[in-house]
């Protein structure tokens, strides 16, 4: 009964010596059934030698039973399940990283402060919050730390506590066939039993509303007890307050020099050098992107094949005119996407005209 409680309710793993004892018990039980079968099957030999041998078997089995009873008084029957060896899942990064090294170092130093348990990263869409969070995640590989595990969860607009619980369960070895049949409360209780003994970092990417960590099954880090850490990314600064973040870090757009480096890589020197007027036009395009990495990457890829000044002038017109249709946070993203869409539509028309 103790073993059943430990395994089913506490999600623990039986000790090897307990498993060995149970195997010996099973072996003795088989011997008892065989002996009982011999007696109940009408065995009553007048042969003294046979009766003597049967008696020896009974005495020997009784001695085994008594020995097992004496040895079966275990103080502990199970232990916590071992965590996976790879406590940090390394995540892929973009091939080109510009202007994030200083931010990564700042966030890391802030995260290591004792009084910081919950840290929010906020900024407009496409500014690089997920990339920054990825850099923090991967930094646990090559930087000494005393955490037991790092857990990454993509939350997105449709908040589902079940998804967060499932990610944690997979990381700590709780996920099984029976896991999905449990209620949110049962899952939270199972997670709490394991995680209360662990020092963890939880990385929540792209949250749109506050996440109730207690409902997930986690101890909520406080400013006085910040052994565990929670880092999240969000669009709105207000979410940090609702999550009771101990510190919030704004992810800023790139400066002009870093913007040009990123844009230059995406466009390619071959295109920039294809006409003497294009470099100057390209600088105007970069300024229109406002230092937003997503806009720089999207527009840079769209302009990689444009080798005439007129095409670049058209791009500037699209970027500047469409920007007025959107709010300050969205205009750079929308205008860059519109430019890419226009070029894609134009290319489709060209291909169709050739086919027809």
Q: Rounded distance, CA 27 to CA 21, Å?
A: 10
Which residues, 6+ apart, have CB-to-CB distance to 278 below 8 Å? 271, 272, 307, 309, 312
Tokens 């348990």: give the residue. Answer: 117
Q: Rounded distance, CA 20 to CA 291, Å?
A: 65
Q: What percent of the chain has pLDDT over 70?
A: 82
Contact (CB, 8 A) for 272 and 279: yes
What mean pLDDT do residues 159-167 have?
A: 92
Residue 14 host element (H or E): strand 12-14
Contact (CB, 8 A) for 309 and 281: yes
∠ CA(194), CA(171), CA(200), 5° rounding? 60
- Checking if the pLDDT of 330 tops 50, the result is no
Which residues, 6+ apart, have CB-to-CB distance to 330 below 8 Å? 124, 125
Q: How far apart are the first and last CA of the chain?
A: 77
For residue range 95-134, list pLDDT tens digits in order.
888 888 999 999 999 988 888 999 999 998 889 999 999 9
pLDDT computed for residue 85 by the predictor? 55
CATH topology of domain 101-250: Rossmann fold (3.40.50)
Helices (H), the chain: 2-4, 16-40, 48-71, 101-111, 129-142, 161-172, 184-195, 213-216, 238-242, 256-267, 269-272, 278-288, 293-303, 309-322, 331-355
For residue range 272-291, list pLDDT tens digits in order.
999 999 999 999 999 988 89
- Checking if the pLDDT of 356 tops 60, the result is no
Beta bridge partners of 96: none
- Retrieve residue 354's tokens: 């050739």
Return the top range by mean pLDDT from 14-18, 247-251, 333-337.
247-251
pLDDT computed for residue 63 by the predictor? 85
- Retrieve residue 227's tokens: 């052994």
Q: Rounded distance, CA 337 to CA 30, Å?
A: 73
What mean pLDDT do residues 215-240 have?
A: 86
Q: Rounded distance, CA 109 to CA 126, Å?
A: 24
Closest CA to 119 of 30, 294, 284, 239: 239
What is the CB neighbour count within 10 angstroms for residue 75? 4
What is the CB neighbour count within 10 angstroms for residue 216? 23
Residue 215 host element (H or E): helix 213-216
Residue 172 host element (H or E): helix 161-172
For residue range 38-82, list pLDDT tens digits in order.
665 555 555 666 677 778 888 888 888 888 888 888 888 887 765
Closest CA to 250 of 156, 120, 136: 120
Q: How far is CA 249 from CA 233, 237, 246, in A?
A: 10, 9, 10
Residue 79 host element (H or E): strand 78-80
For residue range 239-273, list pLDDT tens digits in order.
999 999 999 999 999 999 999 999 999 999 999 99
- Checking if the pLDDT of 324 tops 50, the result is no
Query: C-alpha 128: how far from its chain's center?
Result: 18
């Amino acid at each position: 009964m103790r073993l059943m409680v430990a395994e089913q309710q506490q999600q623990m793993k039986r000790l090897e010596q307990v498993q060995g004892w149970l195997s010996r018990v099973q072996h003795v039980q088989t011997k008892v059934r065989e002996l009982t079968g011999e007696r109940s099957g009408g065995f009553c030999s007048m042969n003294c030698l046979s009766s003597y041998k049967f008696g020896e078997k009974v005495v020997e089995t009784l001695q085994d039973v008594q020995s097992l009873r004496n040895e079966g008084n275990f103080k502990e029957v199970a232990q916590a399940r071992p965590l996976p060896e790879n406590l940090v899942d390394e995540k892929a990064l973009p091939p080109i990283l510009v202007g994030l090294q200083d931010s990564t170092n700042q966030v890391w130093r802030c995260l290591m402060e004792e009084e910081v348990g919950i840290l929010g990263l906020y900024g407009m869409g496409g500014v690089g919050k997920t990339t920054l969070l990825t850099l923090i995640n991967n930094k646990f590989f090559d930087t000494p730390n005393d955490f037991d595990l790092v857990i990454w969860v993509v939350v997105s607009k449709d908040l589902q506590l079940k998804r967060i619980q499932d990610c944690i369960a997979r990381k700590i070895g709780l996920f099984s066939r029976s896991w999905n049949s449990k209620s949110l409360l049962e899952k939270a209780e199972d997670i709490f039993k394991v995680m209360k003994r662990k020092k963890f970092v939880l990385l929540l990417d792209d949250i749109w509303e506050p996440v109730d960590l207690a409902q997930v099954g986690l101890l909520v880090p406080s400013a006085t007890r910040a052994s565990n850490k929670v880092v999240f990314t969000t669009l709105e600064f207000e979410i940090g307050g609702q999550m009771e973040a101990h510190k919030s870090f704004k992810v800023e757009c790139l400066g002009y020099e870093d913007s040009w480096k990123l844009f230059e890589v995406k466009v390619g020197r071959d295109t920039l050098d294809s006409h003497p007027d294009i470099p100057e036009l390209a600088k105007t395009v970069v300024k229109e992107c406002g230092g937003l990495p997503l806009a720089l990457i999207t527009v840079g890829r769209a302009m990689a094949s444009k080798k005439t000044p007129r095409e670049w002038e058209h791009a500037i017109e699209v970027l500047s005119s469409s920007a007025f249709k959107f709010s300050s946070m969205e205009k750079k993203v929308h205008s860059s996407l519109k430019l890419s869409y226009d070029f894609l539509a134009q290319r489709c028309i060209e291909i169709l005209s050739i086919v027809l």
